[in-house]
A and B are shown apart, each in its own frame.
Chain A
Amino acid sequence: MKILIADDEKEFVGFLKDLMTEKGHKIDIAYDGARALELIKKKKYDILFLDQNMPEITGLEIVEYVKQNNIKSKTVIVTGYEPMSEKFAKAVGADDYIEKPVGMEQIETILKRFEVKKCQR
């Protein structure tokens, strides 16, 4: 699958990137919301992993853009623990929501689920 990881925390991005490339996925990286949006406008992704607290543009704002523009990518909001984040993520239509610290198996479960859905489309 083609996946965009958008997060300003470099070590976390490295963790996701190593895990996903090991499984054969193609990864693009954005360290801020503006760059993420730029890439989403240019390329097609199967999944977007979006940190909620990126500089300039938040993960939720990107999900809103994706939904408003009928972009088919699945969206996963990633946050530290913040009350209401899950509710907001669901309200704007994010396909999944995960809280840091994120486990390797949690990511693998999400990837498998979206991979199956992609095959069924």
Chain B
Amino acid sequence: MIHKTFPRGGGEIPHRKEGSERKAIQAVPAPSIVVIPLHQHIGAPCVPVVQAGDKVKIGQRIGEAKQFVCAPVHASVSGEVIAVEERPLLTGKKVLSVVIRNDGQDELVKMEAGDPAKMSPQAIRQVVKDAGIVGMGGAGFPTHIKVTPPKPVEVIIINGAECEPYLTCDHRLLLEQAEEMVGGLLAIMKATGATQGVIGIEVNKPDAIERVEEVIKEHKELSVAALKVKYPQGAEKQLIKAILGTEVPSGGLPCDACCCVFNVHTAIAVYDALTSGKPSYERVVTVSGGSVVDPRNLLVRIGTPIQTLLDFCGGLLGQPAALVGGGPMTGPPVVDLLGPVVKNLSGVLALSHEEAAFDENRPCIRCARCVDACPMGLTPNLLGEYSDKGLYDKADKLNVNDCIECALCSYVCPSKRALVTWIIKGKAGLAAQRAKEKVS
């Protein structure tokens, strides 16, 4: 059997999923205090609709979306709001957050539930919006916008590639909640008017492929794409190329290629919101890495401190070299252990000194491994150099903005150069320079 993949670049990186891939999802008891940031997505922050002293229930809306690119935020425990103030995310960045003391009653408020098959596309979109669902694979883009494509969409792709090492939450969800995922996919297809659904799964998860194929047997419009294990197979553009053979135009959106991509967990969240009126207030997080005593997949309330997750997994083995929020290729470093779990946090990793590696910025020997590896066909050695030196126009000429920031260039570099870090800075620098040029 030929496994689908994108043709250009990419690379083999270690999987390191053994620690948690066979461990069923386990719920972490809600902590005594949760800190729920009002900005957990791409776009504008929410506006708080509660204040200190208010009583809230699980699922109650505590942050309102006042703008289009925004998603509302809900309480994840029942109890009393003790503060609405700036609190650090795990990256250390401070964001206006609602702090709730858990009363342990677990009182729920639910949205109206229904049968998605009987709902109108408009009604489905409204529920997705009210539930505050955002892309749970990592991007955190508000899902209600994606289910309202500006042009016709034919195919909905569910991203079950999970190409980042260590992470296994999507794998476990595919095994344990395949029906819900398919239900979410069908609802998304209805909302967008798409006629075809494809679930892309890397072949290092054969049990997940088997399970999903079993569930979609009755659905002629659905199929599973067995994907070659190659990083970054789960990057949106590479996934589309692998499954449909088409490319998203530079600077465009997936709908420009007649498709739209949703993460496994996002599809399940859509299903839960529609069928049981459950807004986005909890998610599954993989806690793994060589410095974690007992790696697991945890169902966690949004707002739970990272520290609680690590403690639940038996704590740390000595000093880890790095703590990461998300996957090791693209996740940011954890700066604050009290930083809360947010809607798009797929993993918490504690990497040992044997596993983690850092920039050394030795001289480039022009071996071009980064050029060979770049899944976008860019020249990261040059982009990195130009970006680092502030030569943004030169970087622009080499299409720096087409970089998807998968970090494979930095990974393969034998001189351990901070290529992707420079390129990300270069993109920001270029944007700032263009804005300045517009003003003057």
A and B, one complex? Answer: no
Residues of chain B having any CB pair with chain A under 8 Å: none
